[in-house]
């Protein structure tokens, strides 16, 4: 699923503006054993749905393709059908949350991210995207809690270090630079630029 770039800027004491709220992250289906790594077209998935209308996976996959094609409304329809058929489908809740997020429906997005996390307490992308949503609502403490949780679950999740570092920069430059350095080591180019500009 394509992701939505949300950029949040914060004026720092040194009049430097760092950009926070890196791209939202789709569910990493490579980590999900329950989701076959099969790539089908919308037409192929529609045919499969017609022959097996109770298969939540087909609706989920078609919903992702609709989102990739820029049609969040059709994506939400298919993801909702997947959830109806399989109420424990954390990935479908998460990705439907991304659709709502892109359509500027924060309450619906938050509800879906919360449900994805309730179903899978180690769902890193759901915490990360909920943090970005919290930032958009200026709920920075909640966002920081979610970035911390991302890092606790997956210490190699670079974007969470970068975003956390942006928030820390005003109050604790050393900790912010530690986060930028860690994200840089994990391959994050924005963090590398921030580290080079503000931490040397």
Report pLDDT digits (tens) over 67-106: 999 999 999 999 999 999 999 999 999 999 999 999 999 9
Terminal CA-CA length for the chain: 37
Q: pLDDT category, 24, cuts 50, 70, 90?
A: low
Q: How is residue 81 written in tokens?
A: 């059908």
pTM above 0.85, yes or no: no
**What is the reported pLDDT for 170?**
84
Q: pLDDT category, 186, cuts 50, 70, 90?
A: very high
* Domain ranges, ordered by start, for the chain: 28-122
**What is the reported pLDDT for 95?**
96
User: What is the architecture of the domain spanning 28-122?
Assistant: Alpha Horseshoe (1.25)
């Amino acid at each position: 699923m394509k992701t939505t770039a949300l950029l949040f800027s914060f004026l720092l004491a040194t009049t430097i503006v760092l950009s926070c709220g890196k791209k939202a992250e789709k569910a990493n289906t490579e980590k999900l054993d329950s989701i076959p790594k099969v790539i089908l077209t919308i037409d192929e998935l529609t045919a499969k749905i017609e022959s097996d209308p109770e298969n939540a996976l087909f609706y989920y996959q078609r919903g992702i393709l609709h989102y990739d094609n820029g049609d969040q409304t059709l994506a939400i329809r298919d993801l909702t059908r997947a959830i109806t058929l399989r109420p424990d489908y954390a990935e479908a809740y998460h990705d439907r949350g991304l659709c709502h997020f892109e359509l500027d429906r924060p309450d619906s997005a938050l509800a879906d991210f919360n449900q994805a996390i309730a179903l899978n307490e180690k769902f890193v992308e759901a915490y990360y995207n909920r943090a970005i949503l919290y930032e958009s609502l200026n709920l920075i403490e909640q966002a920081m809690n979610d970035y911390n949780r991302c890092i606790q679950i997956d210490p190699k999740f670079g974007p969470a270090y970068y975003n956390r570092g942006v928030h820390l920069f005003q109050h604790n430059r050393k900790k912010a630079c530690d986060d930028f350095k860690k994200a840089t080591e994990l391959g994050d180019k924005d963090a590398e630029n921030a580290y080079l500009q503000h931490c040397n």
